[in-house]
Amino acid sequence: MNALPRCPKCDSEFTYKDGMLFICPECAHEWSNDTAEEKAAEALSTVKDANGNVLQDGDTVIVIKDLKVKGSSLVVKVGTKVKNIRLVEGDHDIDCKIEGIGPMKLKSQFVKKA
């Protein structure tokens, strides 16, 4: 049984994949199956807090652990409320400004959604 999608133009079942494209040998139609790949990429890029809640830009979060500020003697205390977060790519996936400390990057595993 062929697991590849049928051709959207001529409905042929004899399609094959070439790199990122699907190709129909009967009508020479080429297309990409971005929808499945976009959903997989979106699932990987969702950022979740310590409780598993999905975070979005602009959310307010609360710090659940004392966090030392690298290169400083300051500490972000448990219970600190951080407003208007911005999600970014990387290990520290939250960009924010903390009152009294300034701009910081946080890991989502150390916050919970407020």
DSSP string, 68-99: EPTTSS-EE-TT-EE-S-EE-SSSS-EEEEET
Mean pLDDT, residues 4-29 taken together: 89
Residue 71 has pLDDT above 80, yes or no: yes
| Intrachain domains 1-44 and 45-113 with the same fold | no
Residue 1: pLDDT band (50, 70, 90) is: very low
Dist. CA 75–CA 69, nearest whole Å: 6
Residue ranges per domain, the chain? 1-44, 45-113
pTM for the predicted model, two decimal places: 0.62
List, for residues 27-68, the tens digit of each pLDDT value. 999 988 765 556 556 655 688 999 999 999 999 999 999 999
Residue 72 has pLDDT above 70, yes or no: yes
Mean of per-residue pLDDT scores for the chain: 87
Query: Which CATH code, of 2.30.30.40, 1.20.58.2050, 2.60.40.10, 1.10.8.80, is assigned to 45-113?
Result: 2.30.30.40
CATH placement of domain 1-44:
2.20.25.10
Residue 61 parent element (H or E): strand 61-63
Residue 94 has pLDDT above 50, yes or no: yes
